[in-house]
Amino acid sequence: MSIITAIFGSKKDKDLKHLRPIVEKVNSYEPWAKSLKDEDFPLQTQRFRERLKAGETLDQILPEAYALVREASFRVLGERHYDVQIMGAIVLHEGKILELKTGEGKTLTSVPAGYLNALEGQGVHVITVNDYLAQRDAEWMGPIYSFLGLTVGAIVSTMDNERRRQAYSCDITYGTNNEFGFDYLRDNMKLRQQDKIQPKHHYCIIDEIDSILIDEARTPLIISGQADDDTEYARNAEKITQYFKECEKDPETGEYPVVSAFARFEEGAKLEPDGDYMLDEKSRRVSFTKEGMVHMEELLKRFGIIQGSLYDDENFEYIHYVTQAMVARHLYKRDTDYVIADNQIQIVDEFTGRILHGRRYSDGLHQAIEAKEHIRILGKNRTLATITFQNFFRMYDKLSGMTGTADTEATEFQEIYKLDVVVIPTHLPVIRKDMDDLVFLNDKFKYQAICNEIARVHATGQPILVGTVSIEKSELISALLRKMGIPHEVLNAKNHAREATIIENA
């Protein structure tokens, strides 16, 4: 392979060889763009649109369009696109994935590609990972588009239907993957075509594309409503809840029927390889052994919840209730997977750490968690519409994206989405040193080392960001820092309302 690479060049070399002549052509139009007056920019946009209608292609007008955007950016923001950013914009236009290192200006890089494809008049969607970034990018890049005669909108979770419709009607629309996905589902539940708000899926640029199309690809977006049997389900769930409460009240009586079902099952799992149940933490499933099913039946029978066999038609659903109760108890952690706020279970997004307002776990799991936490059990929901991010983004005529880490997932992008990854070099040589990971014997040593490092950096006056995998871990480190007298802020799903203030003062 090394001999072949030496003779024919690596993929990165070939990609750059393809891009450089186009960048040189863009640079050749720079004197023309500089000669234009401010009022000429929207007029030039109109001329581009007329040329497209006359039969020219986007590729043919790309050099002029990119030179125009570069000059507009310089006049509006004082920021001129570097050649590597122009390369990145070409990659995005070609429907590929751009890898550009963090700090190289991906937000600005996306503007020429967004502008060029918006000239077709079918809308361009720019996807970001949260509402804050969607709003920020729209406000930050919006003046460039406006200077060029295009309209810009942003979709955020607090918007009503009419404001969403207006944002979708713009040439460039910023928003999160969740909001675009749910708007699509809501549109498909509407009875009249004119009530739909999301237009054609023409061209899309996804920021942090590896996070959205790989990490969250199979995450289903679900719109649900009350099921017909919600009252019955809530009543049955309440019975199971009461059963477990009663069992837990007096676990030391010595009588098998009133020993806590959870404690009994745990004992079997811990002490015997073939106990009552087995946990699969990766897929979050509980499977009962034959002995476990017998124990479950005995417990439910003796407590008076069921009569007859557990496998009778009228009793079979209790297997599901108990299974979900076990899943809720052992595989879903408070302040990691969910928080309790306003006396309700609120789900925490495992990727962003934010609360997913209005979302509920399906298939009775949410009720089981409510039972576990001893708060009011609400009725079961029925799925009305659902789609995965993978299937949603495949609907676009042309899909592109950008991230700082795409090359490691290049094979997956190619196999699943038929998207090529192009790595663009940095504008200046990288001087940052990426150090090896540190490995510790246990959590206690690790957290103490983290706090010592924070103290060292804090003493120099340098700001420091500490990322954790859960709310619980963030609060543990916070407690250690308080003991050391180090002032800090904690940003997690419990105080997300203060996010903007915390970031502003960081």
Q: Which domains does the chain have, with CATH numbers?
A: 10-223+389-423 (3.40.50.300), 228-379 (3.90.1440.10), 443-504 (no CATH)
| Averaged pLDDT for residues 274-278 | 71
Q: What is the pLDDT of residues 141-175, one digit of tens each?
A: 999 999 999 999 999 988 888 999 999 999 999 99
Mean pLDDT calculated for residue range 60-88: 96
Decide if pLDDT at 37 tops 90: yes
- Pair of tokens at residue 81: 């696109």
Give me the pLDDT at residue 269, please.
34
**Terminal CA-CA length for the chain:** 48
Note the pLDDT of residue 295. 77
Q: Is the pLDDT of residue 270 over 90?
A: no
Q: Rounded CA gap, 216 and 350, in Å?
A: 10
Least confident segment among 221-235, 325-339, 387-401 = 221-235
pLDDT range class, residue 264, cuts 50, 70, 90: very low
**SS3 category, 196:** coil
Q: What is the pLDDT of residues 447-458, one digit of tens each?
A: 999 999 999 999
Q: Are 445 and 136 in contact (CB under 8 A)?
A: no
For residue 6, the model assigns a pLDDT of 53
The one-letter code for the residue type at 499 is E
Which helix or strand (DSSP H or E) is residue 72 part of?
A: helix 58-77
Chain centroid to CA 141:
22
Mention every residue, 6+ apart, whose C-beta is less than 8 A from residue 218: 388, 389, 390
Tally the C-alpha atoms within 13 A of residue 122's C-alpha that lie toward its C-beta.
Answer: 11
Q: What percent of the chain has pLDDT over 90?
A: 46
> How high is the pLDDT of residue 382?
67
Mean per-residue pLDDT, 326-354:
82
Greater confidence, 124 or 240?
124
What pLDDT does residue 24 have? 96
Q: How confident is the model at residue 267 (pLDDT cuts 50, 70, 90)?
A: very low
19-28 pLDDT, tens digit each: 999 999 999 9
- Mean per-residue pLDDT, 358-387: 77
Separation of alpha carbons 206 and 129, rounded Å = 9
pLDDT for the residue 254: 36
- What are the structure tokens assigned to 158, written together? 């607090």
| pLDDT category of residue 501 using cuts at 50, 70 and 90 | confident
Cα torsion through 301, 304, 309, 311, rounded to 10: -100
Q: Lowest mean pLDDT: which of 59-68, 124-133, 277-286, 436-445?
A: 277-286
In this predicted structure, the answer to whether residue 266 has a pLDDT above a threshold of 60 is: no
pTM of the model: 0.72
Lowest mean pLDDT, pick from 40-44, 118-122, 365-369: 365-369
Indicate the range of 52-56, 118-122, 465-469 predicted with least confidence: 465-469
Q: Give one DSSP letter per residue of 331-394, joined into a string.
A: H--BTTTEEEETTEEEEBPTTT--B-TT---TTTHHHHHHHHTT-PPPPPEEEEEEEEHHHHHT
Residue 379 has pLDDT above 90, yes or no: no
Number of neighbours of residue 11 by Cβ within 10 angstroms: 15
Report the sign of the C-alpha dihedral through residues 309, 315, 317, 318, in that order: negative
Rg (CA), the chain: 28
Helix (H, G, I), strand (E, B) or coil at 124: strand
Structure-model confidence comparison of residues 385 and 240, the more confident one: 385
Confidence label for 251 from pLDDT (cuts 50, 70 and 90): very low
- pLDDT above 60 (res 255): no
Least confident of 45-54, 148-157, 235-244, 484-493: 235-244
| Tokens encoding 130 | 């949260």
Q: Which range has the worst mean pLDDT, 262-271, 274-283, 461-470?
A: 262-271
pLDDT tens, residue by residue, 418-462: 999 999 999 999 888 888 889 999 999 999 999 999 999 999 999
From residue 185, give the alpha-carbon distance in Å to each of 188, 193, 399, 486.
Answer: 5, 14, 20, 47
pLDDT of residue 303: 66
pLDDT score recorded for residue 257? 29
Whether pLDDT at 58 is above 50:
yes
pLDDT bin (cut points 50, 70, 90) of residue 33 is very high
Mean pLDDT of all residues in 272-294? 75
What does the block give as tokens for 287? 């499977």
Q: Taking a C-beta distance cutoff of 8 angstroms, is the pair 229, 380 a contact? A: yes
- Quote the pLDDT of residue 236: 56
DSSP 8-state code for residue 301: H
pLDDT score of 175:
95
> With pLDDT > 70 as the criterion, what percentage of the chain qualifies?
85
Closest residue by Cα to residue 174 from 119, 110, 127: 127
494, 470 Cβ separation under 8 angstroms: no
In this prediction, residue 352 carries a pLDDT of: 67
| pLDDT per position as a tens digit, 218-232 | 778 877 665 554 445
Residue 209 near residue 97, CB atoms below 8 Å: yes
Residues 495-499, mean pLDDT to the nearest whole number: 69
C-alpha span between 323 and 301 (Å, rounded): 16
b/e 385-413 (16+ beta carbons within 10 angstroms → b): bebebbebbeebeebbbbbeebbebbebb
Q: Report which of residues 398 and 229 the model is more confident about.
A: 398
Q: pLDDT band at 204, cuts 50/70/90?
A: very high
SS (H, E, C) 127-150: EECCHHHHHHHHHHHHHHHHHCCC
